[in-house]
């Protein structure tokens, strides 16, 4: 039987359980500091080619910019944790996401009325079906 004390929230009515909200994403934080997208992308791209020791040196250098320290720290932390998801996000930030495609092997039967439609008519039909 559940304990009723455990079912009650730890905060009072009208009080938030997370007063600071969700933490800002890494790039949003840098953009909020005034860095341009191109500066962030250039920094990420050059630091992704560095060794852990080089990233550590940048992070510990008192003359490194906030941008350099933030990117170096994020990459170093991701590598040490083995978190490839973070590295994937950084790569897609710099180079863009790879284009995805889907191959459909389902043939249209010979007697189908779809065979009489042009490519543009098929596209229009597909768009109308997506809205439904």
Quick one: pLDDT at residue 24?
Answer: 62
Quick one: pLDDT at residue 96?
Answer: 84
What average pLDDT does range 40-67 have in this prediction?
87
Whether the CB-CB separation of 37 and 45 falls below 8 Å is answered with no
**Which sign, positive or negative, has the C-alpha torsion 47, 48, 53, 59?**
positive
Distance (Å, whole) CA 123 – CA 34: 43
Average pLDDT of every residue of the chain: 80
25 pLDDT more than 70: no
Quick one: pLDDT at residue 7?
Answer: 67
9 pLDDT more than 70: no
**Which sign, positive or negative, has the C-alpha torsion 97, 99, 103, 108?**
positive
pTM above 0.75, yes or no: no
Distance (Å, whole) CA 105 – CA 98: 22
51 pLDDT more than 70: yes
Quick one: pLDDT at residue 117?
Answer: 86
């Amino acid at each position: 039987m559940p304990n009723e004390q455990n079912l009650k929230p730890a905060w009072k009515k009208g009080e938030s359980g997370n007063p600071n909200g969700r933490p800002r994403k890494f790039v949003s934080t840098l953009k909020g500091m005034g860095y341009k997208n191109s500066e962030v992308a250039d920094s990420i791209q050059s630091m992704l080619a560095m060794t852990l020791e080089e990233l550590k040196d940048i992070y510990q250098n008192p003359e490194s910019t906030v941008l350099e320290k933030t990117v170096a720290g994020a990459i170093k932390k991701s590598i040490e944790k083995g978190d490839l998801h973070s590295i994937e996000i950084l790569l897609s930030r710099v180079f863009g996401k790879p284009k995805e495609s889907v191959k459909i092997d389902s043939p249209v039967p010979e007697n189908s009325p779809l065979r009489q439609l042009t490519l543009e008519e098929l596209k229009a039909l597909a768009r109308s079906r997506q809205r439904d």
